[in-house]
Amino acid sequence: MSVTILEPLTAETSKTIAIKIKLNNDLIEKLRNNPAKLIVRNGNYVCIWKSDPPKIKNIPSSTPTPRTPTSVSPIVRSPQVIVAPSSSSSLTSSFTSARAVYSQAYNPFKVAQEDSQDVIIKKFLHLLSLGPISYASITELMHYHDIDDLLSQHAEKFHNFLDEYPYMEDSSDTFILKDKTYKQLIPLNWGYKDDEREMVKSNINNALTRLGYSKTHPVRKKICQKPAEVSKESSQPSQPSQPSQPSQPTKPSQPPISKANGRGDIVSDEKYFQNLAVLFKEKYQEYSQLYTQLKNHTTDKADLIKLVDLHNLLREMLKWVQGGLSAVAGTTEPEYGPEAIHPITRRVKEEQVSRTSTRDDFKWQLLSYTNVETLTMYFTDLSHKNKGFVQVIYSLIMGVVNTAHLNLRCNGKWYSLPLQDYVITGNDVVAKNFSLTLAEDGKSYHLKSAVGATMIDMTFSQISPGVIFGEDGTTLYGTDVENPWGIMRHSFWPRCSVEGVIINNDLGKVELSSQNTLGMVVMALQGMKPHHAAASWNFLNYQGEEFSAVVMEFTTPKSYAKTRVNIGIIVKGDKIVSASIDNDVIHERPKDNDIWPVPEKITFKFPDGQIVGELKNLVERVDVMAEIPQFVKNLVSNISGAKPYIYQYADDFELEFKGEKEKGLGYCEVTFISE
C-alpha cells in the first residue's frame, strides 16, 4: 500500500512521501470485512476500523464515549498492525523516536554530575511515565547507567498483551512504571512538552483508577494543580524554543466534569470487561494445565520459562480484570470523612423538619450521569391480606445505557417487565402498552399496563398529604454542597387509598378495593453507585386501620464516616402527626447462619412511639449479584467489599404512638451491602 500525497505539499516537503503498513494474515482477513481508515496528521499515522470487542487497552479514567465493540476504535501500535513510515528525510523516523526529539541543549532527563539521588530518581520516574521504554533507551537519554536498582524499585516489565500506550518502543524488553509509583509524579512541575504532559496525566489517572482511587481523591487533584515553586535542587530549566515537533499519535482528552456529578463517570462497556475476564480465565487454564504437566513429568527449561512467564502475565492480567470491574462496579472509596456527607437530617431547619410535597416533587429528574430513579407504590389489603407493590424504575448507567422497567411483587410472586419505546415527561411515563400518569391536582396516580402476560389497572389516591423532608429531601455527597458528586433523594405519600385489579396466570385475578386497601407511594433517586452511597438500609411501610407509618434509614460506608440517615413519618387518619429525623432502628436476635447477621425481630423507634415486629415471613432473600458469574462476583466482592443482599418481609407489626396502640401489616426490608 502506498500513498503519494499524505498532506498538502509545501516547498519544504518531499514530493514523494510513502507509508508502509505491515499486515499479517489475520489482519488481512479482518480488513476484507471491516473497512479501515488511515489517518495522517502532522507526520503521525493512526489506523481505525469498526472492530470486534477490543484488545485490552490502557483503560481511560475519564472518557466521553463507551468502549463498545461496534465503536470506531483507534489502533495504536497494536500487534495486528504496525504503522511505520518508509525511509524519507522529510519524516520523523517512527513513533518510537518520540523521546529522541530532546536535543543536547534541552534534555530534562539527563543526569548531571551534581545531581543528588533524589533528583536522579525524579528524572527516571518522569522519563518512564511516558510509557514503555527499553533499558538501552533509558541509559542513553539519562546518560546514566546505574539503573538496575531504580528498575527494581519503581518499574516492571511491560506486557503488550495487556496494555497499549501512545509512546511505544518496538523492543519487547521494555519497562513501565509500577502503578503505585505514578502517585509520586506532578507533571505540571516537570519540563514536558504540552502533548507529553497531557499523556502523562492520562497515564497517572489510569494507574490511580486501577489502584482503586476515586475520581475526587486528592492524589488526582495534584495532577492538575498549577506548577508550584520547587526547590533549586529539583527545578527544571524552561524549555528553549525548538523547531515544531510532530504531535503524538493520540492525545488523551479530559472531558469536562458535570456540575451535578463532580467525579464524572468512568465510561466503560460491560461486554468489554466480560471479555477481559474470559481472557484471564483462558490464560489461567493454560497455566494450570502446564503446571500439572510439569509437576508430573520431567521437562525441559523452555517449559519452565513459559510457566514463569504465564505466572507473571496472569498476575498482571488479574490487576487489569480488577481495574475493569472497578470501572463498572466501583471500588471501596477512601475515607473522605464526615465533611463529605451532607445528610438531609442535618440540612433541615430546626423549625421546619418537613413540608407538604407538591406535584413538582414527584417529577422525574432524568440526570445525565449514573443514577437510578424509582416510583414505588405499595398496597396492603387489610381484609384479604393481598400485599405487594408496583414499581417503575428508570436507570442510566455510565451516562450511556438507559433502561426502564415495570416491577411487580404481589402475594410473594415477582415479575420484572421491560418497558419498550418509553417516554418520560415531567411526572408521567408512557410506553408500549403502558402508562403512568399523575392527576393535574397532584393527588392521585393511575397506572395501566398490558405489558407481557400481566394486566394491571390501579389508582393510588392521597388520604394524607405528601411529605418531603427539608427543602428538597436530598442528601448530598461531596465536599462542596454546591457541586455534589452524588445525591440521595426521597419524597412520600405515606397513606393512600388503592383501587384496581391485577390479572395473570399465576395470580389469577387480584381485586383491590379502596374500602380496605391502603397504600404508600415513595419516589427515590440515587445518583451514585449503590455501595458508595450506603452500606446498609432499613425500611418499613406500615399500614393499619387508623395509623400509617414509613421509616427510611441508610448508613453510609466508612468512606463517609458511617453516617446514619433516618427519616420517619406517622399518619393518623388523614393527618401527619409525626415527621421526625431522630429515629432509630434496632435489630434483635441476629442469626449466625447467614452471610449477614439478619435479625429475627426489629424495632423502629420514634421520639413519641415505636413499631415492633417479629420477622417470620421472609418473602424473598435477594442476592443482588445472583445473575453475575461466581468468578466475577468474587472479584467484585474482593475489589469493592460489596456483598449486597436484601431481606424482604411481610409480617404483623404493633404500633404504639403517644399511648395509643394498634396492630397492622408491615412490609419491611433489611439490606446489607458492605461492612
Pair 283, 397 in one domain: no
In a domain, 478, yes or no: yes
C-alpha distances in Å from residue 443, one per residue of 219, 404, 467, 510:
49, 24, 12, 24
Pair 488, 615 in one domain: yes
In a domain, 527, yes or no: yes
The residue segments making up the domain with residue 293 are 270-329
pLDDT (0 to 100) of residue 653: 98
pLDDT in tens, 310-354: 676 666 656 555 444 444 444 556 788 899 999 999 988 766 899
Number of separate helices (H) and strands (E) present in the chain: 11, 34
In a domain, 72, yes or no: no
Q: Which residues pair with 266 in a beta bridge?
A: none
pLDDT band at 108 (very low <50, low <70, confident <90, very high): confident
Of the residues 199, 223, 247, the one at which a domain ends: 223
pLDDT in tens, 366-424: 988 888 999 999 999 998 778 999 999 998 875 556 889 999 999 989 999 999 999 99
SS3 call for 602:
strand
Pair 203, 295 in one domain: no
C-alpha cell at 21: 503498513
pLDDT (0 to 100) of residue 318: 60
Q: Is beta strand 428-431 parallel, antiparallel or unpaired with respect to 434-438?
A: antiparallel
Share of the chain above pLDDT 90, in %: 40
- Angle, in degrees to the nearest 10, between helices 135-142 and 117-128: 130
C-alpha distances in Å from residue 571, one per residue of 105, 209, 228, 575, 579:
80, 47, 59, 6, 9
In a domain, 406, yes or no: yes
pLDDT band at 59 (very low <50, low <70, confident <90, very high): very low
The residue-averaged pLDDT of 256-272 equals 36
Pair 214, 279 in one domain: no
pLDDT (0 to 100) of residue 301: 65
CB 390 within 8 Å of CB 406: yes
Closest CA to 481 of 650, 343, 278, 276: 343
pLDDT (0 to 100) of residue 276: 60
CB 473 within 8 Å of CB 490: yes
pLDDT (0 to 100) of residue 400: 59
C-alpha cell at 271: 461486554
Pair 401, 476 in one domain: yes
The residue-averaged pLDDT of 490-506 equals 97
In a domain, 15, yes or no: no
In a domain, 446, yes or no: yes
Closest CA to 489 of 473, 476, 512, 470: 473
Look-up: residue for cell 470487561? Answer: 273
C-alpha cell at 628: 453475575
Pair 602, 547 in one domain: yes
Residue 129 maps to which CATH number? Answer: 1.10.10.2670
In a domain, 73, yes or no: no
CA angle 442, 448, 451 (to 5 degrees): 140
pLDDT higher at 462 or 94: 462
Pair 314, 353 in one domain: no
The residue-averaged pLDDT of 615-626 equals 86
Counting the structural domains of the chain, the total is 3
pLDDT band at 93 (very low <50, low <70, confident <90, very high): very low
* DSSP summary character for residue 95: G
C-alpha cell at 562: 458511617
Pair 307, 383 in one domain: no
Pair 379, 484 in one domain: yes
Residue 514 maps to which CATH number? Answer: 2.40.370.10
Pair 383, 458 in one domain: yes
Pair 366, 311 in one domain: no
Find the range with the poorest average confidence among 327-336, 499-508, 521-530: 327-336
C-alpha distances in Å from residue 645, one per residue of 8, 507, 621, 648, 670:
63, 26, 7, 10, 8
Closest CA to 386 of 551, 519, 523, 546: 519
Closest CA to 573 of 657, 471, 500, 490: 657
In a domain, 572, yes or no: yes
Look-up: residue for cell 512538552? Answer: 193
Share of the chain above pLDDT 70, in %: 63
What single letter denotes the amino acid at residue 245?
Q
Pair 322, 343 in one domain: no
pLDDT in tens, 195-253: 788 888 888 888 877 766 666 666 777 666 654 443 334 334 344 333 333 333 332 23
The H-or-E segment that residue 126 falls in is: helix 117-128
Please tell me the distance from the alpha carbon of residue 336 to that of residue 347, in angstroms, as a whole number: 19
Q: Which of 157-161, 487-491, 595-599 has the highest mean predicted lDDT (pLDDT)?
A: 487-491
The residue-averaged pLDDT of 661-673 equals 95
Q: Which of 395-399, 516-520, 634-638 has the highest mean predicted lDDT (pLDDT)?
A: 516-520
List strand residue ranges (DSSP E) for 453-593, in order.
455-462, 467-469, 474-477, 486-504, 508-512, 517-526, 536-543, 547-555, 564-572, 575-580, 584-590
pLDDT in tens, 111-127: 988 889 888 998 999 88
